[in-house]
Structure 1
Amino acid sequence: MLFLTGTSAFAITTPPPTRTLIARQTTSASTAAAEFITTEYITLPGQTNAHVTIAPHTITIAVPTCIQTLTPDKNGYLPPGTCNALYDYYPSFAAAVVASVAFGVLTVAHITQAAVYKKKFCWVIIMGSLWEFASFTTRSLSTLHQQSVALLLVSQLFVLLAPLWINAFAYMLLARLINFYSPTRSILSIPTPILSVIFVSLDFISFVIQLVGGSWAGPTAPEADQLKGIHIYMGGIGLQQFFIFVFLGLAVKFQFEMKEVDRLGRGRGDQKWKGMLWTLYASFGFITIRIFFRLIEFSAGNTSSNPLPYHEGYFYALEAVPMVFAILCFNVMHPGKVLVGPESELPGVIAMLKPKRAGRKEAGKGYSSLEDGNEVLMKPTVYHLT
């Protein structure tokens, strides 16, 4: 503390205040919320020296304190708004089990299909389905132990982040479709390996942002931190949807280019790419439904005018069901049915940059580059070293 007298100045150093806490059993205006007022006394000691005398002073601060007065039921449930209530509704154990079984079946199906069709990159969608399964399995346990913050937080994080795996899989799939069917093996002059790396990297950025936001918005975090976490998560999920729109634009461009390639007779001669592309559109459509649900839920706030956080039916109808169909799309139309052969694998960025080895001759089906005027075309070839 600095004092000025005339032309001189002197400082008084005040020791740290001591605190005495006295809890009063006095309810606040909202008894249903089980909020009590704790009176906190902070004593500032006096100070005496040659220039000034300051008497001791006590500051009284009323601090709202949550004290549980209601007894939880056998599952740990407490009414919304009361102390230690983690859910805004009574969660259904049966619904959580049904959802976990559905995602478990999808996970097993994708593992089986990836093994049958020998598609290594399908581990990405397996992870997405597995995270959904983990989320709803944990949620099933949480409905029976509703006072467990850890179970609820783990369930929330898995369900918030799992769709990003499905996004990444769709990005990788389109890059492989372009590489397999397009004569130029590129879109907008971007080689397919680089295209895949770009969008998977953008998806990872969105993943990190949503992870930070979801972690901060934990059920027991202070209200200010929860609000900040929700804003961060909304920014990440909005970014995710923006990347989806950009990627869908590239998918539409690929679709028009393939129509022209097929019209000129320069394609592979099959139309399987159409079914795979429409499957990709459908999956992104279901993911978009889920994203808009989350954006509306969080942007409208946790008030009585916003029914989404207070009715579990919305969560299952607009979160769980769309993600079941988003994953199921790729079970019904699996990439392994379309991307067949060694050329269906996407080359790595480093391998793409290496110069081609000389001394090869044509011996069957595959791809080689030919010049036709100013346009680079592709025709089927396979190369063997001579």
Structure 2
Amino acid sequence: MYTDTTSPRYYAYEPSHVLPAVFASLIGISLLIHIVQNFRYRSWKVMFFMVWGGAVFTSGWIVRCVSSYYPTNKNMYIAQAVLVLAGPPIYSATEYNILGRLMLYLPMHAPMNPYRVVLFFIYLGAAVEGLTAAGGAQLGSAGTDSNLLRSGATLIAIGAVLQAVVEVVFMSIIATIQYRCTRASMLTSKVHTFCIMLYGTSALVLLRCIFRSIENFSTIGLISSGTCGSTCRAILRHEWYLYAFEAAPMLLYTYWLNIIHPGKFLPSNRNIYLDFEKGERRGPGWIDNRSQWQTFMDPLDFEGILKGQPAHEKFWLRPDDWPVMGSGNTDCRTPLTMTNQEV
């Protein structure tokens, strides 16, 4: 038990001993469920980031629980800050994988190359993760160094704003796909469920980003002006904001993906797509006739759009060339009798 009253304390409040343990347990349970589900549905490629993010986020709350008993221990404080901050951006990468997988299932409504959209968002997510980790480390180790405090808070704030922008773009792509499906009368219950889930999980990440942005801009303002207004005092000096706007949204996020797990709803073979008659067929998969570097430079195929000749093959316009899977009922998962590719 902590008894030292002479060493500097790194928390602006008396940290809870119970809440970190509660959230570590709940997030850890969800993590174990994700591991079991990934083995059961063979969905590691799509859902791997839920395991990685869950491990990081759970570790963060475990370390925070220990750190709450030793509030003067600088290393523990830095470790919990970095791990708690790092978990959500890793979680977010799962959304991008699911979006890419959904676009492969609905290739005729994909606004861009499904494989490139995943890389595009993951690269942005990596930038967010780098900024967040660097900022968390600086903020945690700053002590009374105002320059380090300002630098760390700025990096985290930039990362949070960038993450928020990414989530808005992400939701706009989901809205585009949903709109196109609705116009084509292809918005099945499965597709609708996925759209709602992606809207919801993205909104949870966005809520967390807004909180982190306000928190760190308040820190920057405090350092710059030396005064702490009502918003600053509320967020920086009360721990419950952290649990309400960081821990709770991410807890809902991970359990939502336990419930609406892609492996339950989408075929494990990524070449299976939904045709215009709402039946599932096994096609050739997304085929982009451009070179790899061209797909990286122009993932939306602006050149093809301007010329009126998209570079990808519209194989879905030849449905009779591709075998129908099962009975065509898309509201339940159809067992496959041929070799599957993992999504």
Q: Rate the CA distance shift 1:326–1:115 in 2: closer, same or farther, 3 A.
A: same
Q: Rate the CA distance shift 1:76–1:299 in 2: closer, same or farther, 3 A.
A: farther
Structure 2: unaligned runs, 5 residues or longer: 223-227, 274-279, 286-308, 325-337, 339-343
Name the CA distance, whole Å, in 2 between partners of 1:270 and 1:231.
Answer: 44
CA-CA distance at 1:207 after TM superposition: 1.3
Instruction: Compare relative contact order (CA 8 Å, sep 6+) and give the higher one, 1 or 2.
Output: 2
CA-CA distance at 1:219 after TM superposition: 4.2
Instruction: Please show how residues 72-91 of structure 1 align to structure 2 within 5 Å.
Output: 74-76=1-3, 78=5, 84-91=8-15
Does residue 1:144 correspond to 2:62, yes or no?
A: no
- Of 268, 291, 309, which residue of structure 1 is paired with 2:236? 309
Instruction: Please show how residues 263-302 of structure 1 align to structure 2 within 5 Å.
Output: 263=185, 270-301=188-219, 302=222
Q: Greater share of helix residues, 1 or 2?
A: 2
State the partner residue of 2:119: 197
CA-CA distance at 1:104 after TM superposition: 0.6
State the partner residue of 2:133: 211
Name the CA distance, whole Å, in 2 between partners of 1:117 and 1:284.
Answer: 23
Q: Rate the CA distance shift 1:216–1:172 in 2: closer, same or farther, 3 A.
A: same
Q: Rate the CA distance shift 1:252–1:149 in 2: closer, same or farther, 3 A.
A: same
- Name the amino acid aligned to 1:89: Y
Q: Find the residue that maps to 2:182 and give its secondary structure.
A: helix
Q: Rate the CA distance shift 1:336–1:328 in 2: closer, same or farther, 3 A.
A: same
Q: Rate the CA distance shift 1:226–1:76 in 2: closer, same or farther, 3 A.
A: farther
Name the CA distance, whole Å, in 2 between partners of 1:235 and 1:148.
Answer: 28
Q: Find the residue that maps to 1:90 and give its secondary structure.
A: coil
- Give TM-score scaled by structure 1 length: 0.67
Q: Find the residue that maps to 2:9 and give its secondary structure.
A: coil
Q: Find the residue that maps to 1:183 and give its secondary structure.
A: helix
Instruction: Please show how residues 88-107 of structure 1 align to structure 2 within 5 Å.
Output: 88-107=12-31
Instruction: Compare 131-140 and 201-210 and name the one that shifted more.
Output: 201-210
Does residue 1:366 correspond to 2:308, yes or no?
A: no
How many residue pairs match? The answer is: 279
Q: Find the residue that maps to 2:59 and give its secondary structure.
A: helix
Does residue 1:163 correspond to 2:88, yes or no?
A: yes
Name the CA distance, whole Å, in 1 between partners of 2:98 and 2:3.
Answer: 44
State percent identity of aligned pairs: 21
Spell out, residue by residue over 1:148-174, the C-alpha distance to the aligned partner (whole angstroms, 9 max, x if none).
111111110011111111211101101
State the partner residue of 2:33: 109
Does residue 1:339 correspond to 2:266, yes or no?
A: yes
- Name the amino acid aligned to 2:200: A
Q: Greater share of strand residues, 1 or 2?
A: 1
Q: Find the residue that maps to 1:160 and give its secondary structure.
A: helix
State the partner residue of 2:277: none
CA-CA distance at 1:108 after TM superposition: 0.4
- Of 169, 179, 185, which residue of structure 2 is paired with 1:246? 169
Q: Find the residue that maps to 1:177 and give its secondary structure.
A: helix
Name the CA distance, whole Å, in 2 between partners of 1:326 and 1:223.
Answer: 35
- Name the amino acid aligned to 1:102: L
CA-CA distance at 1:101 after TM superposition: 0.4
Structure 1: unaligned runs, 5 residues or longer: 1-73, 347-363
- Name the amino acid aligned to 2:215: E
- Name the amino acid aligned to 1:232: L
CA-CA distance at 1:282 after TM superposition: 0.7
Spell out, residue by residue over 1:37-88, the C-alpha distance to the aligned partner (whole angstroms, 9 max, x if none).
xxxxxxxxxxxxxxxxxxxxxxxxxxxxxxxxxxxxx42465xxx8611111
Q: Find the residue that maps to 1:325 and give its secondary structure.
A: helix
Q: Rate the CA distance shift 1:270–1:312 in 2: closer, same or farther, 3 A.
A: same
Q: Rate the CA distance shift 1:344–1:109 in 2: closer, same or farther, 3 A.
A: farther
- Give TM-score scaled by structure 2 length: 0.75
Let me know the Cα RMSD of the aligned residues.
2.5
Matched-pair contact (CA < 8 Å) for 1:176–1:345: no
Name the CA distance, whole Å, in 1 between partners of 2:189 and 2:39.
Answer: 25
CA-CA distance at 1:119 after TM superposition: 0.2
State the partner residue of 2:153: 230
Q: Find the residue that maps to 1:340 and give its secondary structure.
A: coil
